Structure 1
Amino acid sequence: MSTDTLPELELRVAAWNTDRETLRALREQVFIVEQQVPREIEWDGRDEDALHVLGTLDGVPIACGRLLPEGKIGRMAVLASHRGHGYGAAVLQALVDAAREQGLNEVYLHAQQHAADFYRRAGFEPEGEPFAEAGIAHIAMRQQLQPRLGRVYTSGIEYPQPFADWATALATDASREICILSPDLDHRVFDDRGLAEALSALARRSRQSRVRILVSDYRPMVQRGHRLLALARRLPSSILLQQLNEHPDWKGETLVIKDRSGVLCKPAEADKAAFCEPDSRARAERYLDLFNELWRHSAPHIEFRSVPL
């Protein structure tokens, strides 16, 4: 099935006292039946203290995970019939987001060793040596968390700094998509290691994640080299880079749009008048409509293709 036609996973925080049977059924199937984890290990008495995330497709439960108060993520389960579509990554991101909302500075987990790359793509780093847990090889992994952006509208942001820091913060905060519109992908703002790492992590997180970058003048990035150009060449299916020659609706703004919920904007020729609204669906969707209109009139450029070694 094409990822374009996959139904979107609906995620919600589940309450153990009301969703217990649903969560137990999922975990029984994945851990006890499929992986033969002993019941006394699976049911460890910590579920009442945990935050649970439940994922459903058309109302049918297919995935879950939990977050313990000390920041440990675990009991990540996706039914076998629905694996390989990015649903596990979506549950994991929801748990990381919940930890950040709780003010935790880090999260950690015990990953089954065969799944270590999955967690590494989501920003977790291994630590220590592999060990056995419930008869299965595991590796401890940890991720430091950056605080979420506040919800307050901020104006008068200067360009290129701290505009560049706001762009990186939005990219780090995104859960599914980042859209960037810039006349020439200004090196002072966008050729940044932290931003490239955040976009790379987002692109690798799920098959449903994507980054779209739209520029009008490709020459500076091609002539000087650019981290985001290199990233787009390396991950062409999830980081899309296109050129827009001109369009009457575009007045030269520089935009960074997070999911459908946040926007960073610098009007053309106004280096001290940028603003950021990290949590405004109405404003973000207005700018996303503009971006999508411009995207429809853009196209890849031959210079954006991978250069053979």
Structure 2
Amino acid sequence: MPALGFRVIAVEDYASAQPALRAVREAVFVREQNVPLALELDAERDPQCQHVLAFDESGEPIGTGRLTPDRRIGRMAVLGAWRGRGVGEALLAALLERAQTLGWREVSLHSQASATGFYARHGFLPFGERFVEAGIEHVAMYRLLGAPNPVDGREAALAALTGILAQARRGLWICSRELDPGLLDRAEAVAALRRFAVGGGQVRVLLHDPAAPQRALAPLIGLAQRLPTAFEFRAIEETVDQNDPAAYLVNDRDGWYYRPLGHRFDGETRIDGGPRARQLRARFEPVWERARPCTELRALGI
């Protein structure tokens, strides 16, 4: 799998790959993160797992990850000099591809708390309370393969938004009651939307009640006023549209997050659900055409 000066392979012979696996994992977990060597080695389980390795152009190992028999992704590690260059994404894609080949319907993982955004960008959602593992704070995350993922609560909603924004090319459509306080006003959400807009993304927002976020000084309105060519707001006024209780967001690359009750975060999401994404975009367009422009949300003088 060549890309950006590295390649990813599936390990066929654990014994011969063991030195490369240990070289990466000991560098990252033991020397960098101070995980005890005996705990990192996992000598009993490691041979039963399926591993992937990333190598640089000279054949030196630079990253690794594994699938355990209990359908968990683990030991994801990339050498410091190679982080931010797509190695982690390639390793994760290879592991997910292998899980699907095996017919698995779900994979889970224990993400270090600092890495949850990385996994959210690839469709994983958090569940449960944070916990300490090997002296490091972790979050349990999961992803259903080939099916919508249930969203339960605010943190899972933020992860769903993160995944849809990360996978989007140029378009994002949002239908919201009052700009989703607790989600679209989160600093992480506003930052992700800003990156998307600055990168050329276009965001259309349908609101049931534009006055509520205006009164609340919603940060997304301020962002839209600074980037007026990227954001457009319209207010739903037709009775048939106002009576629709749902809220949703959908991108132009088959990602969506749908809530049957727009005042709650509970719903379903999927980053690769083409038919449902097309259905939601088709649902959005006629409502958009019937809605009025929210001129009251524009910056003065615009």
Scaled to the shorter chain, the TM-score interval is: 0.5 to 0.7
Q: 1:160 to 1:307 in 2, by over 3 A?
A: farther
2:202 maps to amino acid: R
Q: 2: CA distance between counterparts of 1:98 and 1:269?
A: 35
If the length of structure 1 is used for normalisation, what is the TM-score? 0.51
Q: 2: CA distance between counterparts of 1:186 and 1:145?
A: 20
| Residue 211 of structure 2, aligned match among 215, 219, 229 | 219
1:102 aligned residue: 90
1:146 correspondence with 2:123: no
| Residue 282 of structure 2, aligned match among 280, 283, 289 | 289
| Residue 237 of structure 1, aligned match among 216, 229, 242 | 229
Q: 1: CA distance between counterparts of 2:292 and 2:85?
A: 34
Map residues 61-210 of structure 1 onto 2, 5 A cutoff: 99=87, 101-103=89-91, 146-147=118-119, 148-149=122-123, 150=143, 151-206=145-200, 209-210=201-202
Q: 1:265-284: CA deviations, max 9, x gaps?
A: 10026847511122111110
2:271 aligned residue: 278
Retained in 2: the 8 A contact 1:216–1:243? yes
Q: 1: CA distance between counterparts of 2:180 and 2:117?
A: 28
State the shift of 1:153 in Å.
Answer: 2.9
Retained in 2: the 8 A contact 1:247–1:294? no
State the shift of 1:100 in Å.
Answer: 5.5
Over aligned residues, Cα RMSD in angstroms?
3.5
Q: Secondary structure at the match of 2:182?
A: helix
Q: Secondary structure at the match of 1:198?
A: helix
2:298 aligned residue: 305
1:23 aligned residue: none
Retained in 1: the 8 A contact 2:167–2:253? no
2:252 aligned residue: 259
2:72 aligned residue: none
1:188 maps to amino acid: G
State the shift of 1:243 in Å.
Answer: 1.4
Q: 2: CA distance between counterparts of 1:165 and 1:223?
A: 27
Q: 1:152 to 1:252 in 2, by over 3 A?
A: same
Q: Secondary structure at the match of 1:146?
A: helix
1:183 maps to amino acid: R
Q: 2: CA distance between counterparts of 1:286 and 1:156?
A: 19
Q: 1:22-42: CA deviations, max 9, x gaps?
A: xxxxxxxxxxxxxxxxxxxxx
Q: 2: CA distance between counterparts of 1:272 and 1:186?
A: 9
1:165 maps to amino acid: A
Q: 1:242 to 1:198 in 2, by over 3 A?
A: same
Q: 1:98-138: CA deviations, max 9, x gaps?
A: 6554037xxxxxxxxxxxxxxxxxxxxxxxxxxxxxxxxxx
1:153 maps to amino acid: A
Gaps of 5+ in 2: 9-53, 58-83, 93-115, 124-142
Retained in 1: the 8 A contact 2:173–2:250? yes
Which deviates more, 212-221 or 162-171? 162-171
Retained in 2: the 8 A contact 1:242–1:301? yes
Q: 1: CA distance between counterparts of 2:213 and 2:221?
A: 7
Retained in 1: the 8 A contact 2:249–2:256? yes
State the shift of 1:156 in Å.
Answer: 4.1
Gaps of 5+ in 1: 1-12, 17-45, 52-67, 72-95, 105-143
